[in-house]
Structure 1
Amino acid sequence: MTSTGAYLVVGLGNPGPTYAFTRHNVGFWAVDDLADRHGTTFSLNSKQRAEVAQVTLPAAPGVDAVKLVLAKPTTFMNNSGQAVGAICQFYKIPPEQVIAVHDELDLDPGRLRVKFGGGDNGHNGLKSMRSHLGTGDFHRIRVGIGRPPGRQPAADYVLNKLSPKASDEMRVDAAVAGDAVEFLVRNGLTATQNRFNS
C-alpha cells in the first residue's frame, strides 16, 4: 500500500447531542477546532462511518504542505476503529500517520501528553482502533480530564454533561490539542513532546 502522505486526525467521542458536552468528547472538540481555524466543515460519509473534513497546512520555509484528513466517527466510542480502518483504507494512510485525540483519566485537566504506540489504558476507543488497524503503533494526543471525584464511576464521570466553566476550560484544552496536531505533523514526535507534554 502506497501512502498519500496525508495524516488522519481522528477525534474520539460519541455522536449526537446527548454526548456533545461531555469529557469523553474532547477529541471531537479538538478536530472541530482544527476545521474551524482552517475554514472547513465536516461532511457525513456513511461508507466511512464518520464525519470527514480535509485541510491542507500550507508550506512554510523548510516545511512542505501537509494534508490532514479530520474525522469524527459516527459509531459510538467502542466501535471507533470501524471508521478509522475504513478511512485509512480509502485514503491509503498507514497507521503511523494516524493521530488519535482522546480524553485521558490519568492526566489532570489542563495537561496534555503526546505519544506514539503503547497500550489502551482501558480506553475503548483506542482498543477498537488497535483491533481494526492491526497495531497500536499510531500517535495519541492524550487530553487530561482527571479522575472522578469520590466514588463516582468513571463511566458516569466521562459521560456527564460539563458545567459552563468546565466546558470553557475544555475548549481551551481542545484548542491546545489542535496546536499539538499541527506541530506534530510539521516537526515530528520528539520536538512535539518537548513542547507540549506537561
Structure 2
Amino acid sequence: MTIRLMVGLGNPGAEYEATRHNAGFWWVERVARQWGVNLRLEGKFHGYAGRASGQPECWLLLPQTFMNRSGQSVAALVRFYKIEPAEILVIHDELDLPPGGVKLKRGGGHGGHNGLRDIIAHLGTPDFWRLRLGIGHPGERAEVVNFVLKAPTLNEQIEIDRSIDQSLQRLDELRAGKMEAAMLALHTKPR
C-alpha cells in the first residue's frame, strides 16, 4: 500500500518554529521544497496542505490546530480524500530516541505524545505509520513540556538535521510504501 498522506506534527506560530516539538514540521517542509509542493492554508483541513504531482497521489499536511488537536486536521483531509490509516505517515518528535535517532513503525500507542493521541482518537485506530525523529529526553518527566517547547542545542539541532537528511534519502521508498526496505535502511547502524 502506498503512502497518500504525510503529516508533519508541530505547533503553528513563530514562537514555536524552532522548538523540538516542531521536528515533524521541519521534515514535511523539506519534502515540500524537494518536491516543489506549494503548501497553502486550507480552512477545511485546518492546516497547510499541498498535493505532490505524480503517482501515487500524495498529500503533505502541516496541521495548524496546535499539537493537542492534530487529529482534527488529519481526519478532515483523510475523510475528504478517503485515505486509509495504512496510507498515512505521521512524522513527529520522539522523546525516547536520542537526537539523531530515527525509527519507522506502524501502529502502537501514543507514548504520551498528545499529537499522536489526538490522531488516534479522531481516526479511531492507531494503525498508521509513524516516522519518529529523536529529540532526546530531559531526564525528568516533569520537565518534558518545557523541554519540547524549547529550541534544541546547536549539537542537538545538528543531529536532528542529520536524521532528517538520513530519512529523506528513503523518501521514494516511503512514498511507494516499501516500508520494509526503508526500515532496514533507517534502523541499520552504519559501520
TM-score where L is the length of structure 2 = 0.90
Q: Is the 8 A contact 1:33 1:175 kept in 2?
A: no
Q: What is the CA–CA distance in structure 1 between the aligned matches of 2:160 and 2:3, rounded to whole Å? A: 27
Q: Are the structure 2 counterparts of residues 187 and 91 from structure 1 closer, same or farther at C-alpha, using a change threshold of 3 Å?
A: closer
Gaps of 5+ in 1: 59-64
Q: For residue 75 of structure 1, what is the aligned residue in structure 2?
A: 65
Q: For residue 6 of structure 2, what is the aligned residue in structure 1?
A: 9
From 29, 36, 40, the equivalent of 1:39 is 36
2:98 is equivalent to residue 108 of structure 1: yes
2:133 is equivalent to residue 136 of structure 1: no
**Alpha-carbon offset, residue 178 of structure 1:** 3.3
2:110 is equivalent to residue 127 of structure 1: no
Q: Is the 8 A contact 1:143 1:177 kept in 2?
A: no
Q: What is the CA–CA distance in structure 1 between the aligned matches of 2:75 and 2:140, rounded to whole Å? A: 37
Determine helix, strand or coil for the equivalent of 1:51.
Answer: strand
2:38 is equivalent to residue 48 of structure 1: no
RMSD: 2.0
Paired residues, what number?
A: 188
Q: Are the structure 2 counterparts of residues 180 and 23 from structure 1 closer, same or farther at C-alpha, using a change threshold of 3 Å?
A: farther
Q: Is the 8 A contact 1:6 1:93 kept in 2?
A: no
**Alpha-carbon offset, residue 165 of structure 1:** 4.6
Gaps of 5+ in 2: none
Q: Is the 8 A contact 1:21 1:167 kept in 2?
A: no
Q: For residue 108 of structure 2, what is the aligned residue in structure 1?
A: 118
**Alpha-carbon offset, residue 121 of structure 1:** 0.5
Q: What is the CA–CA distance in structure 2 between the aligned matches of 1:81 and 1:150, rounded to whole Å? A: 27
Q: What is the CA–CA distance in structure 2 between the aligned matches of 1:103 and 1:12, rounded to whole Å? A: 8
Q: Identity percentage over the alignment?
A: 38
Determine helix, strand or coil for the equivalent of 1:71.
Answer: strand
Q: How does 1:164-175 map to 2 (within 5 A)?
A: 164-175=154-165
Summarize deviations over 1:22-76 as a string: whole Å, max 9, x none. 11000000000000011222100011101001113x5xxxxxx322100000001
Q: For residue 152 of structure 2, what is the aligned residue in structure 1?
A: 162
Q: Are the structure 2 counterparts of residues 155 and 49 from structure 1 closer, same or farther at C-alpha, using a change threshold of 3 Å?
A: same
Deviation larger for 47-56 or 149-158: 149-158
TM-score where L is the length of structure 1 = 0.87
